[in-house]
Amino acid sequence: MTLSHSSFPDLGDGNAASHHARTTRGPSMADVAREAGVSSQTVSRVANGLSNVEETTKKRVLDAMQKLGYRPNRAARALKSGRFKSIGVIMFTLSTFGNMRTLDAIATAASRAGYSVTLIPLTDPTTGKVSGAYHQLREQQVDGVVIIFEAHLLDHADIALPEDLPAVVIDSNAGSGYSVVDTDQHQGARLATEHLLELGHRQVWHIGGPDSSFSALHRAESWKQTLEEAGIKAPEVLHGDWSAESGYRIGLELGKNPAVSAIFAANDQMALGAMRAMHELGRAIPEDVSIVGFDDLEEAASFWPPLTTIRQDFHAVGRLSIENLLHQIAGDTPARDVSVPTRLMVRKSTAPPAPGRSV
């Protein structure tokens, strides 16, 4: 592996040892134009891939660009055109598995389309409050934004976007006026619940996310509905906070009740916590109690026992968000709401109930 500084093609001399860095400017269109013996206009046309340039001229320009190592100046382009080839990502926290997967996909899809991605952290680190996103955005110079929600952090937040700024929200239920891209929470929760029911369990308990989260809400709703369609009255939702710790706490309660044979946790972390509780309580998984998670973390297959869970396609969510946003930027009207299906991953944490153990 090497990692080396390389000098600029057009600079043979030593460093300026100046105080403020980045004094160097690369070649401009004018330089290329001079080199190629054309007007800078023509260079611009070539740079933007416009059609009406003769082949031979085009080649001359391209050669000149190559020779000088020309790179367009985005600032100048933005200043003039009002477009930035940049999309902003507004998020509250990066440190969740789903968000980072999604961001990864966003970055990849955006870069493929020639857009750069700017992170816009919304919580003002100094005050801890959500601060004027609106103003931030006017300043940030982006052509559109993707908003990744952490609903439970948002109770008191108004995110007011400039009216003409294309936006996509990644979260179910974002409300008025926005394109929404999200995992199909309903379908996922139904898959999980039906799996347990089909195994022969007569009741399924649910460890839910915080009740301020829309994803959590939808998963709980769908779990309840699936149960009711099977003629089962759903028990109360036990609300965790997505953390393994909270799943552990709730799992301890649930585990003490011998009637509990099947648990659907709203994410893999809480499922992990619940499994730990069962281990401590001496309840065997899956013999005594079956557990299903949601997300399919990388590690879920290595939990003990390997966790049956619902796989979310975060990559698709990210990719489709950008697709949608790019359409909006181009002035098209894309599909308003996009729902990404999930898949049930059956592993070792679920099995039919032990005979005579369930209610």
Q: Which residues bind DNA (CB under 7 A)?
A: 25, 28-30, 37-42, 44-45, 47-48, 51-54, 56-58, 72-73, 76-77, 79-81
Of residues 94 through 153, those in contact with a second copy by CB under 8 A are: 94-95, 100-101, 103-104, 107-109, 111-112, 116-121, 125-126, 134-135, 138-141, 143-144, 151
Q: Does 90 bind a second copy (CB under 8 A)?
A: no
Of residues 196 through 215, those in contact with a second copy by CB under 8 A are: 212
State the minimum distance, in angstroms, from the CB of residue 31 to DNA: 8
Residue 55 or 332 having the CB closest to DNA: 55
187 binds, among DNA, a second copy, none (CB under 5 to 8 A by kind): none
4 binds, among a second copy, DNA, none (CB under 5 to 8 A by kind): a second copy
Contacts of 93 (CB under 8 A, 6+ apart): 99, 150, 153
Cis peptide before 341 (omega within 30 of 0): no
51 binds, among a second copy, DNA, none (CB under 5 to 8 A by kind): DNA
State the minimum distance, in angstroms, from the CB of residue 170 to a second copy: 12
Of residues 247 through 286, those in contact with a second copy by CB under 8 A are: 247-248, 269, 272-273, 275-276, 279
Strand order in the sheet with 262-265: 238-239, 205-208, 262-265, 290-292
Residue 7 corresponds to which amino acid?
A: S
Q: Which of 277, 273, 242 is nearest to 93 (CA)?
A: 242
Instruction: Report the distance separating Cα 77 and Cα 87, nearest Å.
Output: 15
Residue 219: HSE in the Cβ half-sphere, 13 Å Cα cutoff: 35
Instruction: Report the distance separating Cα 178 and Cα 319, nearest Å.
Output: 17
Q: Does 293 bind a second copy (CB under 8 A)?
A: no
Q: Does 304 bind a second copy (CB under 8 A)?
A: yes
Q: Does 82 bind a second copy (CB under 8 A)?
A: yes
Give the CA angle between residues 204, 217, 303 to the nearest 5°: 55
Radius of gyration of the chain (CA): 27
How many chain residues are in contact with a second copy, going by CB under 8 A? Answer: 103
